[in-house]
Structure 1
Amino acid sequence: MYSVFFKRPIDLFLSCLLIILLFPIMVIVGLLLAIHNKGNPFFIQKRPGKHGKLFRLIKFKTMVFAVNSHGELLSDRERLKGLGKIIRKSSLDELPQLWNVLVGDMSLIGPRPLLEEYLPLYNAEQSRRHLVRPGITGLAQVNGRNSISWEKKFEFDVFYVNNLSLKLDIEILILTLMKFFRPEGINQKGHTTMPKFKGSR
């Protein structure tokens, strides 16, 4: 009942409200990143949404464009620094996704939208994560984020799909707010970003 009739209207209302309230912050962050990146402050990439349908996810660009003497892109660690590192740690880079929620590509809460290239790598159970709209935050994000394994992430995603309710969404929202003030689990140990998913073993 909740997922069919109430989740989308709540997403629509809250995304509108948050865009209005956070617009000054988004403008400031956007301007600072435009200077920092010497250009476009946004990162736009196709990601699979509900039922695997592709949409254009929008985030603030936290990594600078930098190449070595051979024209090869530098590592994530070398490209994520200064202002970009601060914005990623505070999760402010996720704010533009409120637009994705507003237009219906995403939900405020749900499994995170991952790379298109992962689609053929999921097993049947993991693919269930695409039965709902992806979210800005989700059960995996409040239970370790990038510090947990891919398999554990997918377990949380499927649990969310199987147990989707208003109560669960409220719990995740509260935990997300708590994590915002105490950032943790942003990276796996020894990695600047989450290592790529290679498929289930």
Structure 2
Amino acid sequence: MEKLDKPVHCNYLLLKRLLDIIFSTLLLIPGGVMIFIFMILVKIETPGKAFYCQERVGLMGEKITVIKLRSMYSNVEEKTGAMWAQKEDSRVTRVGRFMRKTRIDELPQLLLVFKGDMSLIGPRPERPVFTKQFSENVAGFEQRLLVKPGLSGYAQVHGGYDDTPAEKLKNDMYYIHNISFTTDLLIFFDTIRVVITGDGSR
């Protein structure tokens, strides 16, 4: 696997991990209430489990399991297979559309941030099938695996659910080449803006 053009300083990684633990703990307090409320709403709107677990590819290609509040109809991919997110996706429920707009469906992943599988800020972890596909067809895609995946990232606050792999990679590479505490802080505040305005969501 390739190396980063800009080495990541150990002090940055230690500070980043410390802040991940602190903020994930603090956010899980109000976040737990929101998770409980929308868990009920998901169950009321459509039959099936309230949570959706999916294998993703994390740091250095390690497999991790992400947990999200279910925003689509149950078992929808049993018929369609794995599909890239689309604009005005018909697979998404009404509650799911609101959760995606406000990023509420992502809240359970705070547990993975606390555990250390993810960070608050970093490239979003992609599914193995798409990671393999994009690594073969999009030059430089594997560099996303050189940093820990994040709950939010530059591509999420400057793009949308239906961005192409190349568009997402361009934003991810900007983050990787400019990785710093300041960059993480700016993305954190941009994430708050996106959550409030719903900008860039599908």
TM-score range, shorter chain: 0.7 to 0.9
Unaligned runs of 5+ in 2: 1-8
Unaligned runs of 5+ in 1: 188-201
Query: Which piece of structure 1 moves more, 10-19 or 58-67?
Result: 58-67
1:119, distance to aligned residue in structure 2 (A):
2.6
Point out which structure has higher relative CO (alpha carbons under 8 A, 6+ apart).
Answer: 2
Query: For 2:43 and 2:192, how far apart are their aligned partners in 1?
Result: 27
In 2, are the aligned partners of 1:107 and 1:135 still within 8 Å (CA)?
A: yes
In 2, are the aligned partners of 1:140 and 1:157 still within 8 Å (CA)?
A: yes
Query: Which piece of structure 1 moves more, 10-19 or 34-43?
Result: 34-43
Normalising by structure 2, what TM-score?
0.82
Task: Give the 4+ runs in structure 1 shifted more than 6 A.
Answer: none
Q: Of the candidates 84, 94, 98, which is equivalent to residue 106 of structure 2? A: 94
Query: For 1:137 and 1:106, how far apart are their aligned partners in 2?
Result: 10
Q: Of the candidates 28, 34, 40, which is equivalent to residue 49 of structure 2? A: 40
In 2, are the aligned partners of 1:66 and 1:79 still within 8 Å (CA)?
A: no
Q: Deviations over 1:61-118 (max 9, x none)?
A: 0111277xxx945998443232222222221101111011111110000001111112
* 2:33 corresponds to 1:21: no
* Identical-residue share of aligned pairs (%): 33
Query: For 1:21 and 1:158, how far apart are their aligned partners in 2?
Result: 32
Query: For 1:59 and 1:147, how far apart are their aligned partners in 2?
Result: 18
In 1, are the aligned partners of 2:24 and 2:113 still within 8 Å (CA)?
A: yes
In 2, are the aligned partners of 1:147 and 1:185 still within 8 Å (CA)?
A: no
Q: Of the candidates 173, 178, 184, which is equivalent to residue 158 of structure 1? A: 173
Q: Of the candidates 119, 127, 145, which is equivalent to residue 142 of structure 2? A: 127
In 1, are the aligned partners of 2:121 and 2:149 still within 8 Å (CA)?
A: yes
RMSD: 2.3
* 2:71 corresponds to 1:83: no
- For 1:115, the equivalent position in structure 2 comes to 127
The alpha-carbon distance between structure 1 residues 32 and 170, as it changes in their structure 2 partners (threshold 3 A), is same
* 2:58 corresponds to 1:49: yes
Q: Deviations over 1:141-184 (max 9, x none)?
A: 11122354321211221221222111000100111111111112
1:31, distance to aligned residue in structure 2 (A):
1.7
* 2:191 corresponds to 1:143: no
- For 2:19, the equivalent position in structure 1 comes to 10
In 1, are the aligned partners of 2:101 and 2:195 still within 8 Å (CA)?
A: no
